[in-house]
């Protein structure tokens, strides 16, 4: 493409209307299943307060560095990841770095929408007044094995996502985030207050908030680091794409701090909603706390049913959960569509159609993987678990590593600093340089090696 048409494309690129729309959309992307479903069970498993402390330290250092990097590169190049990398050079390493960042969201959004469908189903059942049915120990396992029903809810959830994407960045993504994110906060505060005021809940609050150094282990760091990646939507092309939609006047550092604050606040509230409730319900039984992924879909409905007003709390919780899931799915889909728009130069509806096919194929495999297709296993994993492993444990570390190399070896600190400084002072510049130069690659290697070792059964995460 010649320079003139590239300039034209950059000028006609979608834009957020301003900083608020941008911050709420990035927060909408960050706050998702990771905060409400994954964070509480990991925190419960890895010693509560100790996990929280490690997580917070990593968030304001390593997480901060990666968010600033991806956003600045997106804004500098005005491209989604594949195009952004190729702005700096031609050849295989650039193609690899760009496309691995671009492909991650395309592979995540289908299975993420399957889980979004589960959330929608639970919300529907609570609204229908089936709180006691959901509380049955076997309900969740039977539901995810019922292929037709799971597929239906997955398709419905994906259709809602496409509806927003087709409306565009300002009219779709931004508008939905501006409505849903404040409502999410209100619902989260409501459920948290209810949960921490249950008799016996205070012990759970203490467990969650006060670090106990005896619970610290190497795995605490590994799990917290993986969760930070997941939760902040790092290494999945989203921040490049959203960065390419902002103007030079947006203060990248300030927005990053706000997004981190928002994301952590919701994760904290989710922890405060779930851990004290489990404590109160089980009398502090460690087995209940270590329930892992099933904490939200099996343990929590049981707790809600045992409460006097379980239906109301159940609706509030799953509505909030639904808002969190759909705003994140939107960001994953927007990034995928944007990569196709940039690279194939197709119209937005045509790119949406292509993503609809990808979503349907991978999503259907994931939704049937616990039911009709449960005889198919990849490395011993059902489809959904396999896609989750492949993206989060293998591809995301490689994507983040590519970004670090691009900055350190090709773009250079001078150019990156200038991009951040064109709208404000770069206050944590020293920390940024130090982490980028010496620590980021080590942290990424730790995540990659330990999660692969975990799947191979060499260590237990």
Residue nearer to ligand PFF on the CB measure, 311 or 327: 327
Residue nearer to ligand PFF on the CB measure, 266 or 404: 266
Q: Which of 23, 33, 107, 268 binds ligand PFF (CB under 6 A)?
A: 33
Could you identify the residue written with the tokens 């509230």? 269
Which x/- pattern, by CB under 6 A, does the window 161-190 give for ligand PFF? ------------------------------
The residue whose Cβ lies closest to ligand PFF is: 34
For 78, left (φ over 0), alpha (ψ -120 to 50), or beta?
A: left
What phi and psi, each to the nearest 5 degrees, are found at residue 378?
-110, 120
Q: Which of 71, 77, 192, 231 binds ligand PFF (CB under 6 A)?
A: 231
Q: At its nearest, how many Å lie between ligand PFF and the CB of residue 332?
A: 6
Q: Which of 27, 30, 280, 333 binds ligand PFF (CB under 6 A)?
A: 30
Asked if residue 359 binds ligand PFF (CB under 6 A), the reply is no
Q: Which of 21, 28, 32, 40 binds ligand PFF (CB under 6 A)?
A: 32
Q: At its nearest, how many Å lie between ligand PFF and the CB of residue 442?
A: 22
Note whether 74 and 241 are within 8 A (CB).
yes
Q: At its nearest, how many Å lie between ligand PFF and the CB of residue 170?
A: 21
Q: At its nearest, how many Å lie between ligand PFF and the CB of residue 18?
A: 23
Asked if residue 117 binds ligand PFF (CB under 6 A), the reply is no
Asked if residue 400 binds ligand PFF (CB under 6 A), the reply is no
Q: At its nearest, how many Å lie between ligand PFF and the CB of residue 187?
A: 17
Region of 30-38, 123-131, 201-209, 409-417 interacting with ligand PFF (CB under 6 A): 30-38
Residue nearer to ligand PFF on the CB measure, 194 or 383: 383
Picking from 353, 327, 348, the residue whose alpha carbon sits closest to that of residue 338 is 348
- Say how many residues make up the chain: 461
Q: For 387, how many CA atoms within 13 A lie in the half-sphere containing its CB?
A: 24
Picking from 321, 292, 267, 291, the residue whose alpha carbon sits closest to that of residue 124 is 321
Which x/- pattern, by CB under 6 A, does the window 93-112 give for ligand PFF? ---------------x---x
What span, in angstroms and rounded, lies between the C-alpha atoms of 90 and 231? 32
Asked if residue 35 binds ligand PFF (CB under 6 A), the reply is yes
Asked if residue 230 binds ligand PFF (CB under 6 A), the reply is yes
Residue 396 CA: distances (Å) to CA of 55, 73, 74, 170: 18, 17, 17, 28
Note whether 290 and 44 are within 8 A (CB).
yes
Binders of ligand PFF: how many residues, by CB under 6 A? 14
What span, in angstroms and rounded, lies between the C-alpha atoms of 445 and 447? 5
Note whether 295 and 278 are within 8 A (CB).
yes
Region of 95-103, 135-143, 227-235, 277-285 interacting with ligand PFF (CB under 6 A): 227-235
Token readout for 382 is 């059902």
Beta strands in 196-290 (DSSP E): none
Region of 11-19, 27-35, 114-122, 333-341 interacting with ligand PFF (CB under 6 A): 27-35
Q: How far apart are the first and last CA of the chain?
A: 47
Which x/- pattern, by CB under 6 A, does the window 360-399 give for ligand PFF? -------------------------------xx-------
Per DSSP, the three-state class of 378 is strand
Token readout for 245 is 């939609």
What phi and psi, each to the nearest 5 degrees, are found at residue 381?
-110, 150
Residue 344 CA: distances (Å) to CA of 1, 78, 84, 402: 12, 16, 14, 23
Q: Which of 69, 233, 336, 339 binds ligand PFF (CB under 6 A)?
A: 233
Q: Which of 71, 311, 328, 366 binds ligand PFF (CB under 6 A)?
A: 328
Picking from 19, 35, 17, the residue whose alpha carbon sits closest to that of residue 184 is 35
- Give residues in contact with ligand PFF (CB under 6 A): 30, 32-35, 108, 112, 230-231, 233, 328, 332, 391-392
């Amino acid at each position: 493409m010649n320079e003139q048409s590239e300039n034209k494309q950059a000028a006609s690129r979608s834009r957020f209307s301003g900083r608020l729309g941008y911050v709420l959309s990035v927060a909408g992307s960050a706050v998702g299943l990771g905060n409400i479903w994954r964070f509480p069970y990991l925190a419960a498993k890895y010693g509560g307060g100790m996990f929280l402390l490690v997580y917070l330290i990593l968030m304001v250092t390593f997480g901060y560095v990666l968010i600033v990097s991806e956003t600045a590169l997106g804004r500098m190049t005005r491209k989604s990841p594949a195009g952004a990398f190729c702005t700096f050079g031609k050849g295989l390493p650039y193609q690899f770095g760009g496309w691995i960042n671009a492909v991650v969201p395309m592979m995540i959004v289908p299975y993420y929408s399957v889980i979004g469908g589960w959330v929608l189903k639970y919300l529907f059942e609570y609204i229908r007044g089936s709180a006691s049915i959901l509380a049955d120990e076997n309900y969740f396992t039977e539901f995810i094995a019922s292929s037709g029903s799971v597929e239906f809810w997955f398709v419905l959830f994906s259709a809602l996502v496409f509806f927003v994407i087709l409306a565009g960045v300002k009219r779709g993504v931004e508008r939905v985030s501006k409505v849903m994110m404040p409502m999410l906060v209100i619902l989260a505060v409501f459920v948290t207050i209810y949960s921490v005021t249950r008799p016996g809940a205070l012990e759970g609050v203490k467990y969650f908030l006060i670090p106990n150094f005896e619970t610290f282990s190497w795995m605490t760091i590994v799990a917290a680091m993986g969760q930070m990646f997941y939760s902040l939507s790092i290494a999945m092309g989203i921040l490049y794409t959203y960065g390419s939609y902002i103007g030079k006047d947006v203060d990248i550092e300030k927005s990053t701090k706000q997004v981190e604050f928002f994301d952590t606040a919701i994760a904290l509230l989710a922890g405060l909603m779930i851990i004290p409730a489990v404590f109160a319900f089980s009398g502090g039984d460690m087995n209940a706390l270590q329930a892992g992924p099933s904490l939200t879909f099996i343990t929590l409905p049981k707790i809600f049913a045992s409460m006097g007003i379980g239906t109301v709390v159940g609706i509030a919780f799953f509505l909030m959960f639904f808002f969190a899931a759909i705003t994140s799915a939107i960001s994953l889909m927007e990034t995928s569509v944007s990569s196709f728009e940039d690279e194939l130069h197709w119209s937005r509806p045509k790119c949406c159609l292509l993503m609809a096919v990808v979503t349907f194929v991978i999503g259907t495999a994931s939704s049937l993987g616990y039911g009709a297709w449960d005889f198919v296993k990849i490395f011993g994993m059902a489809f959904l678990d396999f896609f989750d492993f492949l993206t989060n444990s293998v591809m995301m570390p490689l994507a983040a590593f590519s970004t670090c190399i691009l900055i350190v070896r090709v773009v250079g600190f001078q150019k990156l600093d200038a991009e951040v400084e064109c709208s404000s002072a770069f206050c944590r510049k020293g920390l940024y340089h130090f982490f980028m130069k010496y620590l980021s690659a080590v942290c990424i290697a730790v995540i990659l090696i330990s999660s692969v070792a975990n799947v191979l059964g060499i260590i237990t995460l």
